[in-house]
Structure 1
Amino acid sequence: DALRAQLAQCLPAHMQPSAIVVLDALPRTANGKLDRAALPAPDCAGPVADSVDRLPRDIVERHLLGIWESLFERSDIAVDQDFFAIGGHSLLAVRLVDSIARNFGTRLPLDTFWFRGGTIRDIAAVLRESGGTQWPLRVPIKPGGDLPALFCVHTIGGNLFHYFDLARALSPGQPVFGLNALGVDGRTAPRCRVSDIAADCIAAMREVQPHGPYRLAGFSSGGMVAFEMAQQLRAAGETVAVLALLDTYAPGVHLRAQGGGLFERLVCRLRPYMNLQRLMHAALDMIGRTPHRGFPDAASAHWWAHWGYRPKRYPGRVDLYIAEESRREASRPCLGWSDVVPALDIHPVEGSHGLMVKQPVVQELARQLQQRLDDAAPARDAGGVE
């Protein structure tokens, strides 16, 4: 740090080294010249701890992290690492400003990275201060690549972090985008119907890919929205080449009670209604109303939306990737989807609901999902509804 500070006083930013490697001696060739091939590769990242304070804290920091990883073509960046310390320079800063403007609707002055702070956390704070910031409904989780893009739908509350490990475990050439609905920023009214959430996600997706064939995936509650997106796309005459539900429970399906007694089964069946919000939803849903005071946050609205969703019969193929624990303990076979999907393909994955999208289990999930995406590749030039 002392050396960097000294260099900063005598060199302009674009001439400052992005990494410093300390050696006991420079390697030499047999004739005494510098052996450049023997020099160790610089570690631009530096030590990155797995501590919580170096991970994204909210959706703004998660979006920015995705942008930085795309620019630097790396997946080991922490939110407290300085832009210039990890290899950034003035030309890359210009690209970063453009990317932030496209994703957030706010163009930051170029000197922001010098005078306001150069970390993801610093830039996120600047964006939050900007009253005109637009919330990105499309997040480049893993942009680039020459394969047809995979679009992943947010879970309750607008979370996309479930897909980060999965995206990295897929083929290097597989682009992955995250989709959000309006209202996840807390500034606009959140959607409280799955059909509206799906329509928002379709609009965001079409900015990247105007027409199908589409490849959709949704983990947990996100799978329900992906399912509705597929319904709407097919109704509009589009092709859905892949619809992947990642351990998504159909409405009304729950975990079985531990123990086979009558009381345990009764408690398990009534558990969804042992909640004031769920009881309120059941009462108002019967008369087609929503709470007159609205919803305190996006998560509350999304729960309301999922409680009221009634999936219709889907005529196309659906791939259900089901965690072993869910397969064993769910109250219905196939997590309830076989009732509305005749062409349902089951893909067992080891582990539990939460662990299937985390290392190391996500490697097996990624292998199976990538195989399905590759198998669907010949259909990308087809037209109409499959």
Structure 2
Amino acid sequence: MCAGVNQSAKNSGDVEAIVTDLWDRVLERGRAAHEASILDLKVGMLRVYRLLSEIGKATGVVIPITAMFKADTLAEMIDLVRSGKAPKGQALAELKEGEGTPLFIFPGISGVALELAQLARLIDYPGPIYGNQPRGLDGDAPPHTTVVEMAQHQVAAIRTEQPRGPYRIAGYSCGGLVAIETARLLLNEGETVEFLGLMEPSLPEWQWPFAARVEFFWRRCKHHANTIRGLSATEIKEYLVSHAGPVLGRARRMLGARHVGTSPYHREGLPPGLAETRAAGWAALQAHRLDSYPGKAILFCSERGNPLGCNVAIAYPAFLQAHDVCPFGGDHAGMLREPHVHELAAHISNRLAQIDLYVSSQCCTKH
């Protein structure tokens, strides 16, 4: 935890000393981190939020979380604060530079592109890679309340960087669902979507196929049985009571109820903006109706999947006109972290390389 700005730095008014002191105290990565990008430090988004918040309090320069990619090193952050001009928030965060067709990746329910940084760095791809961030993260505007609104927002953001297709899009978890609707809007506008990569995309619970519901409840029953094994009778009672509400809420949602119960991804103490965006994302997900996607998608599915979601390989084929399933190790949360992020990045790289090879062969055929 940050214990506050070093008093001597604060008294001297030395921006460099203030920002450096906060960088060290909040990130806790030592002097070696002074030369590194915050994207490579693997500190987690809450630490980054806290760092930007403390810098704002100490200097009056508030750096939006969506704009931190413009100043992701200590030196760049010092220069930005010294200028006294806070950057504007942005929907697109450049995670990796490149030349050629961009790859746009949608983060999960957090909405913060920081969680995609390591994956983007590992994807072997010549084009630039962007993280698509939702409205509302910076707290300067309310988040969108429907998946379609979120998709429309992302289409506009994508077109600012790439006015015309063909497009390459990917999405993780809740971002996968938004990616599908974004791709659908682009198709409806006459564009081509060459790549739609879905990393265990979310699906409204009321739309889960029967087989997916059975598999989910069987998996959760085994989890709960293993958890209470060895507990006392009192502890078992407390456990069952604490889980009865969430189980009932999920069952009601599967039967068609909307906006019932709390999100299984709810976390206390989140910063303003992030909390509202997560809540809006989950509510929009449950209220959405996913129609069959008319193009092709690649489903990237981890071995153990999402413990709080359906088995994507079982549930999603009914909603995709054409698809491939690409399995790999790990689980839903771990696919973006060591060691499984390397495997996921390799699979995405291979799929993109296949598209490039096909496009190149078509150009050769035409000539």
TM-score bracket for this pair, using the shorter chain length: 0.5 to 0.7
- Look up the match of 1:4: none
- Look up the match of 1:249: 202
Name the structure where helix makes up a greater proportion of residues.
2
Shift of 1:357: 1.1
Shift of 1:248: 1.5
Deviation digits for residues 138-167 of structure 1, max 9, x if unmatched?
A: 111112x23421001133242112210111
Letter matched to residue 82 of structure 1: A
1:272 matched to 2:250? The reply is yes
Shift of 1:373: 1.0
Deviation digits for residues 200-229 of structure 1, max 9, x if unmatched?
A: 011000011111110001111100000101
Shift of 1:363: 1.0
1:346 matched to 2:325? The reply is yes
- Look up the match of 1:234: 187
Number of aligned positions between the proteins = 278
Shift of 1:46: 7.7
Shift of 1:311: 0.9
1:45 matched to 2:35? The reply is yes
Check the 8 A contact 1:223/1:246 in 2, yes or no. yes
Pairing partner for 1:141 from 89, 92, 95: 95
1:195 matched to 2:188? The reply is no
Pairing partner for 1:163 from 109, 116, 124: 116
Structure 1 residues 314 and 64, CA gap change in structure 2 (3 angstroms):
closer
Letter matched to residue 345 of structure 1: D
Spell out structure 1 runs of 4+ moving beyond 3 A.
Answer: 46-55, 58-65, 122-126, 253-256, 260-263, 266-271, 327-333, 378-383
* Comparing 48-57 and 367-376, the one that deviates more: 48-57
Shift of 1:324: 0.5
Q: Which structure is larger by alpha-carbon Rg, 1 or 2?
A: 1
- Look up the match of 1:311: 290
TM-score, normalized by length of structure 1? Answer: 0.61
Q: Secondary structure at the match of 1:259?
A: helix
Q: How does 1:1-386 map to 2 (within 5 A)?
A: 45=35, 52=43, 56-57=48-49, 60=63, 63-68=66-71, 77=73, 81-83=74-76, 117-118=78-79, 122=81, 127=86, 134-143=88-97, 145-171=98-124, 173-252=126-205, 253=208, 255=216, 256-259=219-222, 270-272=248-250, 281-282=259-260, 297-326=276-305, 331-332=310-311, 334-377=313-356, 378-379=358-359
Q: Secondary structure at the match of 1:316?
A: strand
Deviation digits for residues 34-85 of structure 1, max 9, x if unmatched?
A: xxxxxxxxx993899958499622784655553346xxxxxxx4xxx334xx
Calculate the aligned-residue CA RMSD, in Å. Answer: 4.2
* Comparing 153-162 and 353-362, the one that deviates more: 153-162
Structure 1 residues 203 and 365, CA gap change in structure 2 (3 angstroms):
same
Deviation digits for residues 1-42 of structure 1, max 9, x if unmatched?
A: xxxxxxxxxxxxxxxxxxxxxxxxxxxxxxxxxxxxxxxxxx
Q: Secondary structure at the match of 1:334?
A: helix
Letter matched to residue 56 of structure 1: V
- Look up the match of 2:16: none
Equivalents in 2 of 1:380, 1:193: separation in Å? 38
Letter matched to residue 340 of structure 2: V
Letter matched to residue 140 of structure 1: E
Deviation digits for residues 294-350 of structure 1, max 9, x if unmatched?
A: x97222221111111111111211101011101899645615111111312101110
Gaps of 5+ in 2: 1-32, 53-62, 226-239, 262-273
Gaps of 5+ in 1: 1-42, 70-76, 84-112, 128-132, 284-294
Equivalents in 2 of 1:47, 1:250: separation in Å? 34
- Look up the match of 2:56: none
Equivalents in 2 of 1:154, 1:184: separation in Å? 12
Equivalents in 1 of 2:169, 2:135: separation in Å? 19
TM-score, normalized by length of structure 2? Answer: 0.64
- Look up the match of 1:95: none
Structure 1 residues 268 and 332, CA gap change in structure 2 (3 angstroms):
farther
- Look up the match of 1:16: none
